[in-house]
A = this chain, B = another copy of it.
Amino acid sequence: MPITILRLGHRHYRDQRLTTHVCLTARVLGAKKVILSGEKDEKIINSVKDIKERWGGDFEIEYQKNFRKVIKDFKGKKLHLTMYGLPIQDKIKDIKTQKDLLIILGSEKVPPDIYHMVDYNISVGSQPHSEVAALAILMHEYFEGKELNKDFKNPKIKLKPCKAGKDIIET
């Protein structure tokens, strides 16, 4: 069940840490790929590739300027996460039947036509929200919590869970 995340309208500096958190969330919760749009930001792309290199898994990241083309060309269903959308709890059953999903996350203003280019506009809470938190809940619901047991292949380092303190293992 591949999930691809499309991050719209990234702005250098202002969005750097939030977009990085979008990528980390997507990776840890089992997305296949993040596509960044907006201003090109090699720093984020390199830091995410570095995490993959050290921590394993097959997560991909790429930049695409033409986000409308990404949406149009995507073969599966397209889901835009927005506080204005329909409640996730009413639609998740249907969403879970989709095997190939593009999840679209805005930064500041999302162009109005995007709402009409997608199969679902979905809200997590119908209130001002964090797109990182909304993405986490959507993915957690979609994968039914099984994503937390995901195995990241070929890591150089991994963690041994600790009651207190830190335990990092070199593999």
State whether A29 and B133 are in contact (beta carbons under 8 Å apart), knowing that A84-B167, A89-B145, A89-B149 are contacts in the complex. yes
State whether A128 and B17 are in contact (beta carbons under 8 Å apart), knowing that A84-B159, A84-B161, A162-B85 are contacts in the complex. no
Q: Which one, B84, B125, B134, B162, contacts A162 given CB within 8 A? A: B84
A23-80 contacts to B (CB < 8 Å): 24-25, 27-29, 51, 55
Binary contact readout A100-144 vs B (1 if CB under 8 angstroms, 0 otherwise): 000000000000100110100101111111101111110011000
Complex Cα gap A152–B127 (Å):
9
Point out the residues of chain B lying under 8 angstroms from A99, CB to CB. none
- Residue A8 interfacial (CB < 8 Å): no
Task: Please tell me if the beta carbons of A165 and B133 are within 8 angstroms of each other in the complex.
Answer: no
Complex Cα gap A124–B25 (Å):
10
Chain A contact residues: helix, strand, loop or mixed: mixed
Complex Cα gap A17–B18 (Å):
7
Complex Cα gap A121–B167 (Å):
13
Question: From residue A129, how far is it (CB to closest CB) to chain B in Å?
Answer: 5
Task: Please tell me if the beta carbons of A86 and B161 are within 8 angstroms of each other in the complex.
Answer: yes
Complex Cα gap A90–B165 (Å):
18
Instruction: Name A162's closest neighbour in chain B (CB-CB).
Output: B84
Task: Please tell me if the beta carbons of A128 and B87 are within 8 angstroms of each other in the complex.
Answer: no
State whether A21 and B162 are in contact (beta carbons under 8 Å apart), knowing that A29-B125, A84-B167 are contacts in the complex. no
- What residues of chain A have their CB less than 8 Å away from a CB belonging to chain B? 14-15, 17-18, 21-22, 24-25, 27-29, 51, 55, 83-89, 112, 115-116, 118, 121, 123-130, 132-137, 140-141, 145, 147-150, 152, 158-159, 161-167
